[in-house]
A = this chain, B = another copy of it.
Amino acid sequence: MTNLSELKQTGKSLGEQAHEAIRDSVITLRLVPGEMVYENQLAATYGISRTPVREAIRKLAVEELIDVLPQRGTRIAHISERKLKDAAFVRSSLEMSAFRSVAKEWSETSESCRRLKQQVQLNLAEQHKAQNNPKVFLQLDEAFHRLILQQLGNDTLLNVVLQMRGHLNRIRYLALEQLHDMERLVNEHEALFAAVTRNDDIAVAQILSGHLNKMHNDLPALKQRFADYFKP
């Protein structure tokens, strides 16, 4: 696991570092849904005091990744179908608007568009190479969406999408080994970006709409297999 000295690296405050560390642990399921954790325990784990740990926990509670039970402890949030559905709706709405907007304003003469195109093409090439490595592929998938969202220049939107993806990614990590159809996902990514570069925002909406709904297929099976992780 993560020990104390691992945190002492950067210029960030202990609170921020604890936040990132705990958040990552929750999303990648190293801290399993439903598990109880305690401020003292986490503080000891990271070799820091309760204060920065509390700060981290409060932020994660706002995100609904953990539940604070007053005077009783802190629980890693169960995976909630309701929350998944809601987060998917928000993410979909925002990515749809964002991608369409980027498509509408795409121009090969724009410097930023050209730079983006290079990065995306690099990313897509790596996606092809990572077909047999689900974890790497998942990160490249994330990076692809992020690259295009960044082109919009709306950090607020980007942060909301990333927050939603925190919840959605928990089930993707749950289904890591079952991550199949990677080839189809790459193809969709390529079709999506092609539509962007020819200013075809209608096609973008069409492709993206189908693309984002892929994940829900495995849900029933996952819910059965990892019943303890889900909200009753």
**Inside 8 A of A70's CB, which chain B residues have their CB?**
13
- Size of the A side of the interface (Cβ < 8 Å), in residues, is 27
A160→B97 contact, CB < 8 A: no
**Interface pick from A24-32, A150-158, A193-201:** A150-158
Q: Kindly state the separation between the CA atoms of A164 and B159 in the bound complex, as whole angstroms.
A: 12
**C-beta contact mask, A88-100 vs B, less than 8 Å → 1, else 0?**
0110111011100
Contact of A59 among B62, B87, B92, B156 (CB under 8 A): B62
**Inside 8 A of A87's CB, which chain B residues have their CB?**
156
Judge if A55 is at the interface, Cβ distance under 8 Å: yes
Q: Are A90 and B160 also in contact (CB < 8 A) when A13-B70, A70-B13 are? A: yes
Q: Kindly state the separation between the CA atoms of A156 and B86 in the bound complex, as whole angstroms.
A: 6
B86→A94 contact, CB < 8 A: no
Considering only residues 6-45 of chain A, those with a C-beta below 8 Å from chain B are 13, 15
**Inside 8 A of A98's CB, which chain B residues have their CB?**
93
**With contacts A55-B55, A90-B94, A156-B164 known, what are 5 further pairs, Cβ within 8 A?**
A55-B58, A86-B157, A89-B157, A93-B96, A93-B157
Residues of A within 8 A of B (CB): 13, 15, 54-55, 58-59, 62, 64, 70, 83, 85-87, 89-90, 92-94, 96-98, 154-157, 160, 164
- For the complex of A and B, 10 pairs with smallest distance between CB atoms: A93-B97, A86-B156, A86-B154, A90-B157, A93-B93, A93-B94, A160-B160, A87-B156, A90-B156, A89-B154
